[in-house]
Structure 1
Amino acid sequence: MLISLVVPCFHEADIVRRFHSHVAREIAPLAPTAEFEFVYVDDGSRDATLDHLREIAATDPRVRYVSFSRNFGKESAMLAGLRHADGDAVVIMDADLQHPPELIERMITLHSQGHDQVVARRTRAGDRVTRTLTARAYYRLVNRLVDVELVDGVGDFRLLSRRAVDAVLELTEYNRFSKGLFAWIGFPTATFSYENLVREQGRSKWTFGKLLNYGLDGVLSFNNKPLRAALYLGLLLLGCAMAYTAWIVGDALVNGVETPGYVTLLVAVTALSGVQMVMLGVVGEYVGRIYYETKRRPHFLVSETNTSPRPAPGASPYPGDSLDSLGESVARTTPAA
């Protein structure tokens, strides 16, 4: 059985060699039962990450790499890795060694028992209390909204069978939220927990702003309940306005007309304006997603690679598209050995 290890990289020059050596050492005992290939995806790094990948590929024939023309984000990097992976099963893991390579053997064992997805769920041991509480509150909220179940601690570190990979590749939307996509495709899934590890080198690329945007993607990608909430809120405000109007008219008929207070008027106008802006923002987010989908742009552009993608599992979603419809419409070059 061929196992593909898909590894997105962004500014990992300080650790990618150590990562490769560590993983190669861990999978060596598995050689009698499985073959391995490495699929590294350089997400437009501006450091020496690509240079290291070239050198690793020159010394290890199992290594394949894809380099983007610019930074397209981790979602695009994972998509590119899945498209270039030839394995009967694919393991997605980060290059910072926070995903323990020692767990690959356990994943393969669970996969051999009939599971199409084997998910490693990290504990929150060692995390800041504020981050733990925020994450728990987010998952409780998002699971009340989205159409799939998202589990706290479950990320991209997982094994996917070939049919699970092909199912993910058939989902061609531009705005991708992989946690939701993995949950949406279903298939038999096994989950186990592992203790979170400290990043060995460098800093996390996930700033507060990126985490916030990623969280919003999770809320908006798998439901239309915010739009339904806007409708319900509009009906509620309309009912309140009609009741208030009836009260004002009745009070005027009984007690006569009095000069209304400006404070009440200003508060009402300001509050309703704020609600309208929020609702317009929600609608705008959905319209913006439709806008990006209709552009039919590729998910990423490849500037250099020593490999080629697998044929698409299904027909191209856009008539007239060629192989470049896989999200790689750019000339690909392979450097001389």
Structure 2
Amino acid sequence: MPKLSVIVPCYFNEENIPVTVRELVANEAHFPPDVTFEYVFVNDGSGDDTLGALRRAQSLYPTRLRIVDLAGNVGSYNAIVAGMAHATGDCLAVITADLQDPPELMATMYEYWQQGFKLVIGNRQDREESGISTRLANAFHWLMKHLALRNIPEGGFDFVFFDRQVAGEVLKMHERNSNVFYLMVWLGFAYVNIPYTRRKRQIGQSRWTFPQKVKLLIDSLMAFSFVPIRAISVLGLGLGLIALLYGLYVIGLKIVHPDEPAGWPTLMVVLLFVSAFQMVALGVIGEYVWRGLDAARKRPLYVVNKVFEESPPEAPADADSGRY
């Protein structure tokens, strides 16, 4: 009797929880009757009543829901790792709490898992949403595919279905400042890619800010690619060649026109350009050094405040009011 653990990271999802839980439970009808389910909701330090909403939902489905309440906000990827560590299923899936990814796709993913695939990816072929955020997301995944991991699918993904072995390998790495989904692909297991159209968010607002997106891009590139440090080397060699040619030019100019004064503007341009390159180079090297220091500290990726494995003693008064 296979068991499926569905991991749902939650951050300021108080309004989403009732709908999400109801749709996930209803989605069980798409699976064979011998499959059992476990829903691991990870509260990533939400500042609203997400935990309360989860506890109310747990009172309605006490045998299905497990709640991992983290002590503080550690980011969705670390929250997913926490969910993986507390999941007990033979196979696992990760889906967002806002249900922009279709839960019914998990049944098809499960079929591929039964065929022997240890990793099944649902990638965003298209989006119902549009705007600058969509263009930035597409640019991010294009950079990652062409500069870091060439075997990832086009369009990006954060909806995955994977075997217990994949979860175990990811947990053993204790990777910091990385991307847990790219780690799954990096492991090298053959995977199936299922394209889909991502839904428009219906409830609440995304807390995924622009600075967080920039940090994710930097973390992902530096975790899976040597391109930034290699670019510095190539640019440094190029600047060295330019400096050599310019030096020869200056020497030749001095021989041909010994009385001509040196050019102040040219000197300042060269000085500022080289100084700017040095600062950028130091910044990139510093990013790599900081990540090495952060890994050497061996601080935990997350701290669990409490794990709720059973429903509250009594269901809340509004449990039968149709809220869930």
For normalisation by structure 2, the TM-score amounts to 0.90
Secondary structure class of the residue paired with 2:126: coil
Kindly state the Cα deviation for residue 218 of structure 1 after the two structures are TM-superposed. 1.6
Which sections of structure 2, spanning at least 5 residues, go unmatched? 314-324
Change (3 A) 1:131 1:306: closer
Partner of 1:12: 13
C-alpha distance in structure 2 between counterparts of 1:260 and 1:26, whole Å:
77
Identical aligned residues as a percent:
32
The 5-angstrom pairing of residues 72-91 of structure 1 reads 72-91=74-93
C-alpha distance in structure 1 between counterparts of 2:297 and 2:281, whole Å:
25
Partner of 1:311: none
Provide the alpha-carbon RMSD of the alignment. Answer: 1.9
Partner of 2:201: 199
Q: Deviations over 1:262-293 (max 9, x none)?
A: 22122111111111111111001000101100
What is the one-letter code of the residue matched to 1:306? F
Partner of 2:155: 153
Partner of 1:211: 213
Q: Deviations over 1:104-138 (max 9, x none)?
A: 21111121111111111122243436555544444
Is residue 119–residue 189 contact of structure 2 (8 Å, CA) maintained in 1?
A: yes
Partner of 1:318: none
Which sections of structure 1, spanning at least 5 residues, go unmatched? 308-333
The 5-angstrom pairing of residues 271-282 of structure 1 reads 271-282=273-284
Secondary structure class of the residue paired with 1:170: helix
For normalisation by structure 1, the TM-score amounts to 0.87
C-alpha distance in structure 2 between counterparts of 1:154 and 1:137, whole Å:
10
Partner of 2:33: 32
Kindly state the Cα deviation for residue 83 of structure 1 after the two structures are TM-superposed. 0.6
The 5-angstrom pairing of residues 1-337 of structure 1 reads 1-30=2-31, 32-60=33-61, 61-128=63-130, 130-147=132-149, 149-307=151-309, 337=313
Q: Is 280-289 or 179-188 further displaced after alignment?
A: 179-188
Secondary structure class of the residue paired with 2:208: coil
C-alpha distance in structure 2 between counterparts of 1:133 and 1:13, whole Å:
28
Kindly state the Cα deviation for residue 147 of structure 1 after the two structures are TM-superposed. 4.7
Kindly state the Cα deviation for residue 187 of structure 1 after the two structures are TM-superposed. 1.4
Is residue 30–residue 107 contact of structure 2 (8 Å, CA) maintained in 1?
A: no
Is residue 121–residue 153 contact of structure 1 (8 Å, CA) maintained in 2?
A: yes
Q: Deviations over 1:41-82 (max 9, x none)?
A: 000011111011122223311110101111110011100011
C-alpha distance in structure 2 between counterparts of 1:130 and 1:159, whole Å:
29
C-alpha distance in structure 2 between counterparts of 1:163 and 1:87, whole Å:
11
C-alpha distance in structure 2 between counterparts of 1:18 and 1:135, whole Å:
26
Is residue 156–residue 178 contact of structure 1 (8 Å, CA) maintained in 2?
A: no
Give the aligned length. Answer: 311
Change (3 A) 1:147 1:201: closer
Secondary structure class of the residue paired with 2:38: strand
More relative contact order, 1 or 2 (CA 8 Å, 6+ apart): 2
